Structure 1
């Protein structure tokens, strides 16, 4: 039940974001945040390895999200 509720909230927030951002940017940010969040929870809660290459890769995803947002006209 919690998963379904989270999915509905996530899709609702994507819909709100798409009112202010182009579809490509909104979707890329949505997917990127989900990917980084999932990897971070795996590291923090499931004891997955947090080696330097993995952390740098997650940082690059975050940098890409920020770059997309900054490059999108308001």
Structure 2
């Protein structure tokens, strides 16, 4: 696994972080809300920067693949965090479509370009 893939995975995790921060900001008020909004700004900045870095350099990941993987990591992480932290429902269809997202991103990598 190249450094760019590690950078991309970290960027996707920070994407999850910015989504969680927004959810927490909506549940709070005052100084706590502002703390979560600052966390959002930090996470979104780091996430975008890491996505940018993963698409450059010697072993650059193509933009389409990078964005799909980054988005999928963020989506999967956010759904899992929503279930664990926000008590969102766990339904068959929710898990089914989350699984198809993961399978689709893997398919892009396996059958796409040699990134």
Q: Same fold (TM over 0.5)?
A: yes
Per the shorter chain, which TM-score range? 0.7 to 0.9
Aligned residues: 74
Q: State the match for 2:93 in structure 1.
A: 53
Alpha-carbon contact 1:21-1:72 (below 8 Å) kept: no
CA distance in 1, matches of 2:90, 2:53: 33
TM-score when scaled to structure 2?
0.58
Q: State the match for 1:41 in structure 2.
A: 81
CA distance in 2, matches of 1:41, 1:51: 15
Q: Which has the higher contact order (CA 8 A, sep 6+)?
A: 1
CA distance in 2, matches of 1:32, 1:39: 10
CA distance in 2, matches of 1:59, 1:13: 25
1:26 Cα deviation from its structure 2 partner: 0.9
Q: State the match for 1:4 in structure 2.
A: 41
Runs (5+) with no aligned partner, structure 2:
1-37
CA distance in 1, matches of 2:108, 2:61: 10
1:18 Cα deviation from its structure 2 partner: 0.9
TM-score when scaled to structure 1?
0.85
CA distance in 2, matches of 1:29, 1:45: 23
Over the aligned positions, Cα root-mean-square deviation in angstroms equals 1.3
